[in-house]
Amino acid sequence: MGMGENCFTRRRFIANCAITLTLHGPGMLVGDNPFVLDANGGVGAVYVKSKRESAGTIRIAVSHPSLGNASAEIVVWPSPYRNQSAHA
């Protein structure tokens, strides 16, 4: 398969623009930002890592010139095991 093609060899013409992610809250993005879908056959991913010993809501906004905008929320709870390593 060539770049920007799916398993049926259909070219994804809208995949050549950058996806931009914005994160607010107690977390961080791990991965390329922005990233171009065409470089990976029309798909892409990043990880969201919560900040140590934090809680709250992480809000992620995604923007693409042709596909539009989307958003998601991740609720982060404090670990019930925090500070146990200090007592071991």
The average pLDDT across 19-23 equals 95
Domain count, the chain: 1
Residue 25 lies in a domain: yes
pLDDT digits (tens, 9 = 90+) for 30-82: 999 998 887 777 788 899 999 888 899 999 999 988 889 999 999 999 877 76
pTM over 0.95: no
Residue 1 lies in a domain: no
Residue in the structure block whose two tokens are 């982060």: 76
Residue 23 lies in a domain: yes
Domain extent at residue 20: 13-87
**What local confidence, expressed as pLDDT, does residue 83 receive?**
63
Q: How far is CA 15 from the centre of its chain?
A: 17
Virtual torsion, Cα 39, 25, 68, 63, nearest 10 deg: -40
Residue 4 lies in a domain: no
- Residue 1 confidence (pLDDT) above 60: no
**What local confidence, expressed as pLDDT, does residue 84 receive?**
61
Residue 43 lies in a domain: yes
Separation CA 56–CA 76 (nearest Å): 5
Virtual torsion, Cα 58, 64, 70, 71, nearest 10 deg: 0
Residue 83 lies in a domain: yes
